[in-house]
């Protein structure tokens, strides 16, 4: 007979019990941790990543939280997220309203990164896209009240390109201009100097994550005037002369001349003339 | 066997060898842990940048990259191919621990060890006995989970909660709430379960156990014939299961503690009045 002894049955049962306990605990813990990790991917909109972060997910898979970028930042702009802050634990970020990025030409933070989480291919700081400045509160911005300010325009390191001044009519006075700052995403690096410098209690211009700040035109949209320029001619079929049901003898000219009367109308002469012309 | 419930562990050794010799390795370890932490703090506090960064990754003397191989491994599991600097750093550190023993990190470098050693000391002084114990395999489970989650989510999930890297980072870069983890681990180890964190749960310790499995430097029960069964080494050892095969093995078995779980903390050498243990390379049998 080859029946297992009572003792070995018991120990097997205990073993299975232990394994399933451990597996159950591990699974629960893993699910909790996994869900928490998903939450950690959502970066608060006031936290801006250093230059060279192209995509938050990629960054979180590459950054080892060593803080070498923080150490090499000459302006103490960057800091590491601490436990209790809403940025993924230990990762570098900055708050533009307190200390903005000074856009060092040699980009020391990117050079310091040992993993490439800050993309080493970023060699020209003007190509950095840390976020996008948005003049988010037009009610508070004093430029919209017709007051001269333009501080954001003047501190912008990519002056007149990332922020330009758009002059508009001041309807309140009827005779002055509004000097409205306009941000251009083609040049804005998201350094945050404008947000830092904004003279209001709470900045009216703020750097937001590009994803949050940018709209996107439907990919099927074509702007007629751009297409026309690209093609060198209108892509729409030109108007053909339209056939109208007009009184006999009259014409319609589509190029704006309108109704064209024939030189002579059928009824301005005597009946005899008409007979002679053979129209009756 | 002598009942050691009422006895102070290591008392015999203190009487026989003197206090200093009976605490030699302990003092050396504290010196090592604190000087490494101080080296990291020299930069931010006094502007001497011998080493920059933190224990996850750092730059030594502005030239040599040093990176934690456990954190590095998580990065690899996310599917990211890192730049060469962190790879070199991780290889250097991994090689070092491969030779001296993986868990030398735990007992000679990791600042959490000071906390858990203190908790264990309090346990002994207050004679706290608790029945709850985690499986020593739990840490390997967490090691697997941390790597699996990294590859599923594509981010370094364990680094969101890792108390080890978190605490030493916040010591160097400014303290957030990570001190809560210090308190929690202390309470866990002192009042809930003996050596719960370092010996049962920490996946980083599990990783370094595996890394140091074949290390050159090993504790050796070379004079095991003079063991008087006082059990002090078992009481003080954070991983007591590793001692038995070497100390109480058959005559022809090796006296070397081969297990990767041994942290090479050498406390057993300190507390042994009979000088049974020594640290040697693994080839002495």
Residues of B in contact with A92 (CB under 8 A): none
Q: What letter would DSSP give residue A72?
A: H
Distance from CA of A52 to the nearest CA of B (A): 14
Opening angle at CA A109, ends A106 and A110, nearest 5: 75
- φ, ψ for residue A76 (rounded to 5)? 55, 30
- Our measurement of the distance from residue B30's CA atom to the centroid of its chain's CA atoms, rounded to an integer in Å, reads 12
Contact A36 B160 (CB under 8 A): yes
Q: What pLDDT was estimated at residue A225?
A: 85
* Of B142, B164, B147, B157, the residue nearest B55 (C-alpha): B164
| pLDDT for the residue A71 | 94
Q: For position A223, what pLDDT does the model report?
A: 87
Per residue of chain A (280 residues), give pLDDT as tens.
455 567 778 888 888 887 787 778 778 888 888 888 888 888 888 899 999 998 888 999 999 999 999 999 999 999 999 988 889 999 999 999 999 999 999 999 999 999 999 999 999 999 999 999 999 999 999 999 999 999 999 999 998 999 999 999 999 998 899 999 999 999 999 999 999 999 999 999 999 988 889 999 999 998 888 888 888 887 777 666 666 677 777 777 767 667 776 665 555 667 677 666 665 4
Mutate to test the interface with B, among A27, A63, A64 (most CBs of B within 10 A): A64
From chain A, the residues in CB contact with B52 under 8 A are: 68, 71
Q: Is the pLDDT of residue B60 over 90?
A: yes
Give the model's pLDDT for residue A37: 83
Q: Is B177 on the interface with A (CB under 8 A)?
A: yes
pLDDT at B1: 39
Contact A65 B54 (CB under 8 A): yes
Gap from A117 CA to chain B (nearest CA, Å) = 8
Check: CB of residue B100 under 8 Å from CB of residue B123: no
Mind giving me the DSSP string for A96-159? Answer: TTTS-----TT-HHHHH-SSSSS-TT--SGGG--S-EEEE--TTT-GGGGT----HHHHH-SSB
Using one digit for the tens of pLDDT, what is the confidence trace for B69-106? 999 999 999 999 999 999 999 999 999 999 999 999 99
Burial B85-117 (b: 16+ CB within 10 A, else e): bbbebbeebbebbbebbbbbbbbbbbbbbebbb
The H helix count followed by the E strand count for chain B is 15, 5
For residues B121-138, give the mean pLDDT: 86
Nearest CA in chain B to A22: B138
State the burial class of residue B266 (Cβ atoms within 10 Å of its Cβ: 0-12, 13-18, 19+).
Answer: buried
Residue B3 in this model has a pLDDT that exceeds 60: no
Q: pLDDT tens digits for B160-211?
A: 999 999 999 999 999 989 999 999 999 999 999 999 999 999 999 999 999 9
Neighbouring CB atoms inside 10 A of A239's CB total 8
pLDDT the model gives residue A210: 87
Give the C-alpha separation, A78 to B172, whole Å.
15
Residue with tokens 């934690």: B68
Query: Can you read off the two tokens belonging to residue B171?
Result: 């010591």
Q: Do A67 and B160 touch (CB under 8 A)?
A: no
With CA atoms as reference, report the closest residue to A183 among A197, A211, A206, A162: A162
Check residue B249 and give its pLDDT. 79
């Amino acid at each position: 007979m080859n029946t297992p002894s009572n003792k070995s049955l018991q120990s097997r049962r205990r073993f299975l019990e232990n394994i399933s306990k451990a597996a159950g605990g591990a699974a629960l813990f893993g699910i909790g941790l996994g869900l928490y990790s998903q939450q950690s991917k959502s970066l608060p909109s006031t936290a801006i990543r250093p230059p060279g972060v192209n995509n938050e997910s990629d960054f979180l898979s590459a950054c080892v939280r060593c803080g070498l970028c923080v150490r090499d930042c000459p302006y103490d702009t960057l800091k590491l997220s601490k436990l209790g802050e809403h940025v993924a634990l230990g990762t570098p970020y900055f708050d533009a309203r307190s200390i903005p990025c000074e856009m060092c030409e040699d980009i020391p933070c990117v050079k310091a990164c040992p993993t490439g989480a800050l993309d080493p291919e970023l060699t020209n700081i003007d190509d950095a896209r840390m976020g996008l400045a948005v003049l988010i509160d037009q009610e508070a911005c004093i430029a919209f009240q017709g007051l001269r300010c333009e501080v954001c325009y003047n501190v912008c390191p990519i002056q007149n390109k990332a922020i330009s001044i758009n002059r508009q009519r001041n309807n309140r006075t009827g005779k002055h201009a509004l000097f409205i700052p306009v941000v251009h995403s083609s040049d804005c690096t998201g350094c945050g100097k404008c947000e830092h410098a904004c003279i209001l209690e709470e900045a009216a211009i703020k750097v937001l994550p590009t994803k949050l700040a940018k709209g996107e035109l439907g990919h099927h949209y074509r702007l007629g005037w751009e297409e026309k320029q690209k093609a060198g001619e209108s892509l729409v079929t030109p108007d053909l002369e339209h056939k109208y049901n007009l009184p006999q003898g009259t014409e319609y000219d589509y190029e704006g001349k309108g109704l064209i009367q024939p030189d002579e109308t059928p009824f301005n002469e005597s009946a005899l003339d008409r007979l002679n012309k053979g129209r009756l | 066997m002598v009942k050691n419930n009422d006895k102070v562990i290591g008392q015999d050794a203190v009487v026989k060898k003197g206090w200093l010799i009976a605490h030699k390795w302990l003092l050396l370890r504290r010196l090592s842990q604190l000087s490494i932490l101080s080296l990291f703090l020299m930069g931010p506090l006094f502007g001497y940048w011998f080493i920059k960064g933190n224990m996850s990754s750092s730059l030594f003397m502005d030239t040599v990259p040093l990176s934690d191989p456990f954190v590095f491994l998580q990065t690899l599991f996310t599917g990211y191919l890192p730049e060469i600097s962190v790879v070199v750093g991780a290889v250097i550190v991994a090689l070092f621990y491969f030779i001296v023993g993986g868990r030398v990190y735990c007992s000679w470098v990791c600042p959490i060890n000071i906390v858990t050693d203190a908790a264990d000391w309090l346990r002994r002084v207050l004679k706290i006995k608790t029945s709850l114990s985690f499986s020593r395999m739990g840490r390997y489970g967490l090691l697997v989970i941390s790597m699996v989650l990294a590859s599923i989510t594509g981010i370094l999930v364990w680094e969101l909660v890792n108390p080890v890297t978190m605490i030493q980072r916040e010591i160097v870069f400014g303290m957030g709430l990570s001190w809560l983890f210090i308190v929690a681990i202390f309470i866990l180890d002192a009042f809930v379960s003996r050596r719960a964190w370092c010996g049962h749960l920490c996946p980083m310790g599990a990783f370094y156990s595996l890394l140091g499995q074949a290390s050159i430097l090993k504790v050796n029960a070379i004079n095991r014939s003079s063991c008087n069964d006082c059990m002090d080494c078992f009481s003080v050892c954070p991983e007591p299961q590793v001692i038995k095969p070497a100390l109480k093995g058959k005559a022809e078995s090796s006296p070397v503690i081969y297990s990767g779980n041994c942290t090479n903390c050498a406390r057993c050498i300190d507390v042994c009045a009979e000088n049974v243990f020594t640290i040697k390379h693994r080839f002495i049998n």
